[in-house]
Amino acid sequence: MGVGVDMKEAEKVSYKIVAEPPSHIKLGPHEQFIFIKHKQFHKAEGVAGILSHPKSMQYAQLSDRLKNEDQLGLPQHRLVLLVHGHQAHKNSNYQPILASKLAGEGFYVLRIDFRGLGDSEDCKDVSLGRTIEQDTEDIESVCELISCERLRDELFELPVTLDTIVGHSRGVMAMFEFCRRYPNRFVPNLVNCSGRYDGRGIVQKRLKYTPNWRKDGGFYCDLPRHGGVVKTWIPKSETMSGVECPTHLFGQINQQSSIMSCYGTCEEVIPLTAVASFANLFQGRHYLEMIRGATHNFYGLPNDPNALKLPLRNGLVNYCYVVADKIAEYLSWEKQLQRFYAKTQYIKGTPINPAEIVTRWPLPHAYSKVSNFRDLGGYQTVYQGRRIKTGCFYRCANVCDITPDALKYLQHKLDVVTVFDLRAPDEAKENGLLDNNKLVKSLPFNNNMNTSPEVLAEHYQGLLISSYSFPKAYMIVLKNSIDSIKTFFQFLLEPQGAVAFHCTAGKDRTGILSMLLLSILGVDDDTIAREYELTTLGLKTETKLIKKLEARGDLYYSMLGPNSEALVKEYHLTPDKMAKTLLSSRYEAMRFFIDDFRAEYESADSFFMHELQFSTHAIGRLRDLYLEE
């Protein structure tokens, strides 16, 4: 079978990479043919799949990846799972095209065969056939693999998060039913391609093509198996599992999940009333794309004029390329950022009043003249799902220009008793200070910027070359800020009211402190990185800082240190490009920093105990103080 991983008793799943796939499996240079086996669900090899790695991983060094960033997206901590429909398999329709497209943009993509199809093992019970419940078990097997850190990191090389499931036709039912059956498996993005809503249509279809299927207890159809086509008996129970699937309950899935639906205007299998049904079911979080001229499987009709000049497949216009483009756009970092902002801009329920709704952004710039001011509360944690309390911590950019009314609101309505300034004193004087000695506490990070020229140059290289090199700079800041970090968290142990903290933009030093705060309170890495990325939106009002950074011009070259000329040539750096990088706050910058943090300190708890000298009792007190009951 090729490279295998032995299953430990404590692990429910195992995987195998097939070193020499069968001849019908055609792999790209960045793909692997694998089997995933769940101890509880599978009795043979498990489910077969093709794993596409980010294409930029063909370059071993980060420097080489950065040089080719414009052509190939840098690796992301995000996995997209593709699941097929009836009489289909992992390479049906748009799946290989979409996998290649997303891998080129930095995603990991796994497309699997459900049991009983393609190269996966047979159905658990052939007398029942491929039921929706069985399909959800196959999806759960993938999730269980991702949740097993050892296996996940071996297979994917990065601690990936299941970011998206894309389902087609019957696979859409399996996708939504999985999310309903396994509520703890949160998936941010769900893509419905040609999904059926009303299962009664399945009965009508069967009666049309096989009128005696009920009486006979099933029907025969051709299914793709191991590179060929096999005439297979489909038991009545398999059909009825789709008919009886409780689609009306899909609205129960996690409210933080966003749903995209994609249908062809020439859909001939699913009634297009499904579009309205899903839109109503997922009101407020549903996005629709109609592919003009496309059928159920996203091909054109025989007389299609092919106005888009798309490639043909079997003589038909291949709209699968359009589908891939639409889904890739939906999953772009800009679109995901906007959706996360929309879903989190209000926090529903507070410890005082569960029916209360508070804004995450209580000091809008137009009113306060403070950018990037937001509440870090409301996020769910790993501790019995308890959320971080609202109104305890606020992060922001420099507050020196705060209006008198906003300052009063900050102190008397938000109950902020201390504003921690993470800037070095000289930097604070140069960029503006809040004239309120009782409220502001200086807490300089990065050892007051009192570091050697070599370390300082390394720090700026990390911030100026690419957002993917931020972790290098962030680790320098973190290690040079231990005393200040310890002071901050000791203050939190004796709460007197809410606190705010900021640096210049509220991005880097503030982002590091936010990561530590959210991590020790139990927020997952994906949410921490998405929260960090909100600064992209929060800084749009920081015109004074933006102009100042843009005006530095050639000064950026000297900040790179003695090797600036070589670095500028290697990474095609310009002052404008470096200024934009310095202001960026991409999701992946934080995820890679968290990776480096874990490699260095193992965990947030370990960092607090060994670096900050906090006892387990003190860590527990932080959680008791700042997590909702």
pLDDT, residue 64, reads 87
**Rounded distance between C-alpha atoms, residue 513 and residue 92, angstroms:** 46
Task: List the structure tokens of 499.
Answer: 């606190």
Report the predicted TM-score, pTM, of the whole model to 2 decimal places. Answer: 0.93
Phi, psi of 343 (to 5 degrees): -75, -25
Question: For the purposes of burial, counting CB atoms within 10 Å of the CB of 562, is it exposed (0-12), middle (13-18) or buried (19 or more)?
Answer: exposed
CB neighbour class for 442 (10 Å; exposed up to 12, middle 13-18, buried from 19):
middle
Residue 175 in tokens: 């996708």
Report the pLDDT value the prediction gives residue 337, as an integer from 0 to 100: 97
Find the range with the poorest average confidence among 208-217, 443-452, 507-516: 443-452
Specify the pLDDT at position 448.
Answer: 61
CB 33 within 8 A of CB 18: yes
Domains 3-331 and 347-626 share a fold: no
* Residue range 324-332: mean pLDDT, rounded: 98
Q: What does the buried/exposed string (b/e) look like for 215-226 if buried means 16 or more CB atoms within 10 Å of the residue's CB?
A: eeebbeeebbbb
Q: How far apart are CA 510 and CA 526, in angstroms?
A: 18
- pLDDT of 8 > 70? The answer is no
Of 3-12, 342-351, 366-375, 605-614, the least confident: 3-12
pLDDT recorded at residue 9: 40
- Residues 135-171: tens digit of each pLDDT: 999 999 999 999 999 999 999 989 999 999 999 999 9
| pLDDT beyond 60 at 6 | no
Extract the tokens encoding 32.
């692997």
pLDDT at position 351 over 80: no
Range with lowest mean pLDDT among 122-131, 331-340, 537-546, 595-604: 537-546
- Whole-number average pLDDT of the chain: 92
Q: Give the separation between CA 550 and CA 548, rounded to whole angstroms.
A: 5
Can you tell me the mean pLDDT for 187-191? 98
pLDDT score at 508? 93
pLDDT value of residue 437 = 73
Residue 510: the pLDDT is: 97
Q: Are 176 and 215 in contact (CB under 8 A)?
A: no
Q: Which pLDDT score, from 0 to 100, does residue 453 have?
A: 67
- pLDDT-derived band at 67, boundaries 50, 70, 90: confident
pLDDT at position 48: 98
> Between the CA of residue 223 and those of 166, 209, 232, 306, what are the distances in Å?
21, 16, 6, 30
Domain boundaries, the chain: 3-331, 347-626
| 3-class secondary structure, 501 | strand
Burial (0-12, 13-18, 19+ Cβ within 10 Å), 543: exposed
Q: What per-residue confidence (pLDDT) applies to 3? A: 42
Assess whether pLDDT exceeds 50 at residue 5.
Answer: no
Name the pLDDT band for 10 (thresholds 50, 70, 90). Answer: low
Distances (CA, A) of 555 to 46, 227, 423: 58, 61, 20
Which CATH superfamily, name and number, covers 3-331? Alpha/Beta hydrolase fold, catalytic domain (3.40.50.1820)
Position 251, amino acid: G
pLDDT at 56: 93
Per residue in 217-273, pLDDT tens?
999 999 999 999 999 999 999 999 999 999 999 999 999 999 999 999 999 999 999
How many secondary structure helices (H) and strands (E) does the chain include? Answer: 27, 21
Overall CATH class of domain 347-626: alpha beta
Share of the chain above pLDDT 90, in %: 78
For residues 68 and 342, which has the higher predicted lDDT (pLDDT)?
Answer: 342
Q: Show the tokens assigned to 3.
A: 């490279």
Q: What is the pLDDT of residue 7?
A: 42
* Region 168-187 average pLDDT: 96
Distances (CA, A) of 350 to 135, 389, 392, 521, 621: 38, 7, 12, 17, 20
Mean pLDDT of 282-307: 96
Residue 355 has what pLDDT?
82
pLDDT in tens, 438-468: 899 999 998 765 556 677 778 888 888 888 8
- In 3D, which of 593, 382, 433 has the Cα closest to residue 507? 593
DSSP 192-211: EES----THHHHHHHHHH-T
| Alpha carbon distance 340, 431 (integer Å) | 31
> Residue 69's pLDDT band (boundaries 50, 70, 90)?
confident
Please give the backbone phi and psi of residue 58, each rounded to the nearest 5 degrees, phi first: -65, -20
Is there a contact between 549 and 582 (Cβ–Cβ < 8 Å)?
A: yes
